[in-house]
Amino acid sequence: MSDSKPLESSNKSSNDIDSDSQQKEGESDSQKVWVAELFEEMIFGSKEKTNSYSSADGGIWKQETGHWNYYNNSHSLEEKYLDVVDVSQDQVGNLAIKLKNGDLYQEKIDGSQLKFNDKNKCVGFRLSDGKNGQFIWDGDELEAYTAGNIVWQRAKEGDKYLDKWVRSDSQSYWVGKIEFDDKTGNLVLTDIDGDDKGDVIIHKTDGSKEIIHANQSRKIVLANKLEGQYDANGNLTKLTYPDKTIREFGWQHDEKTNQYILNSVVVKRADGSVNEHKLIDGAWYLNDEKEKNQFTVDSKKMQYSYVDTATGSIWTSRLDNGFDVVKTNDDEYTVNKYEQITQVKIGDKTREYNYLDSDSKKPSEIYDKANNIIWKLDEDNNWVSDKGEKIKGKAIVDTNGNYSFVDGNSTKIFHIDGTRIDQIKSEIDGSTIERRFIEKKIETKITHADGAIREYLAIKNSNGSEQIISETRHYNGQKEIW
């Protein structure tokens, strides 16, 4: 990529134009531009008609007294949209809006917005990541492209437009094609001169972009800044995460099957640590020592997975550098990039955990969807439930879906199946008390220091009191039932 220089001496690449579109984000129009897809039937496809539609930003379009009104997410009427004459929606949820002056708008479900003139030419766009731009047309020829406050003016030779674009603020230029795909909403830049000749950059409405090089290798950058690099054969060779973690993948061509086999995974973390996994004679080695993991890569999804052969658990990377983990019995738990358990699914029961910071292994919020309880830390570091119960202690979670509150000799355990166990150990005589709550039943077990055991079975009455229905005593191998 070259710096901006006088017109006579330098040209720019499509990467320069790409970077210009990010420089003045939000400056081109301070007022929200509502756009939605409304083309002719051959472009837009079939539409669903009703009298109200939800907008991508949480607002609602309503057809009232013969015209359309827009109510924002505060349920207030937006008067600046009173010139809308028609709203429709396609089968995937994209909105189409038409104004009295003939302008056509598109609002996609990914949050991107497009504006079309009465000749179905796109004259403005805003991608879901905030990048925006405008197009100026001379009939069917694109005359200029505006990104923020930067204007790229297309050069002419007589009446003929050239594939040469001059930047307004520096008079540097770029040689290539700028095209807009009406059907997908993608902005396509093609280099036709210079060091990047043949490169194609595709900006997609979800904020991602794809760079296809002349040798067919490519790079994909998602809206969350995750970068994936691919070789000319379509194999994912590198993932660079927003936190600067890098994973590199090596591939070997198998001539017998004419397929590419993953043979190395190198993990480089921001702290400088490096782990190198290699496939040697069918077995995986970590830093030259045989390991229990087996690796695979899904190039299309930009993900890699490994199977822990010791437990059978399958770890699959997420786009935020965390992992989803499926255990051998199809139960699942989710680990974020800080190695914190954020969600556990056991059958149809789910629990979710939030943390105060990236270093903490103890959660600060517990959403026990399995038993419809929410726990949060108060200012005094007490755990308070939405049912009004208050517990002291640190919270501990495990991959089986259980969580515990531990405070000295007191432990309260909440199992995923709804069972609760309270354990207390006496500092005076060493005896322990365990109370197990199972629906309306309460099982109490007292174990004395000399080995004697007393067990009680009680039921909880409607007024909250406990009624003992049986007692069992164990001592010196004898058992008595009272």
Provide block-wise average pLDDT over 10 residues at a time, the chain (482 residues): 31 56 40 33 44 81 81 77 81 84 83 84 81 87 87 91 89 86 82 86 87 94 91 95 92 92 93 92 91 92 89 84 76 82 87 84 87 89 91 85 89 89 86 88 89 88 84 75 60
Q: Nearest 5 degrees, angle CA 9-CA 11-CA 17?
A: 150
Annotated domain spans of the chain: 11-175, 215-305, 363-481
**Contacts (Cβ under 8 Å, ≥6 apart) of 252:** 260, 261, 263
- 8 A C-beta contact, residue 324 and residue 332: yes
In angstroms, rounded to a whole number, what is the distance separating the alpha carbons of residues 87 and 61? Answer: 8
Beta strand ranges found along 287-339 (DSSP E): 289-290, 293-298, 303-308, 314-317, 323-326, 332-335
Strand, helix or coil at 79? helix
Residue 126 has phi, psi (to 5 degrees) of: -140, 120
Structure tokens at 128: 């879901």
pLDDT, one tens digit per residue, over 162-181 is 999 998 888 788 899 988 78
Q: State phi, psi for 113 to the nearest 5 degrees.
A: -140, 135
CA angle (273 as vertex; 268, 276 as ends), nearest 5: 60
Give Cα 400 distance to the centre of its chain.
24
CA 146 → CA 35, 51, 164, 174, distances in Å?
18, 36, 15, 14
d(CA 162, CA 30): 33
What pLDDT, on a 0 to 100 scale, did the predictor assign at position 14?
59
Q: What is the DSSP string of 216-269?
A: S-EEEE-TT--EEEE-TTS-EEEEE-TTS-EEEEEEEEETTTTEEEEEEEEEE-
CATH 2.40.30 fits 11-175, yes or no: no
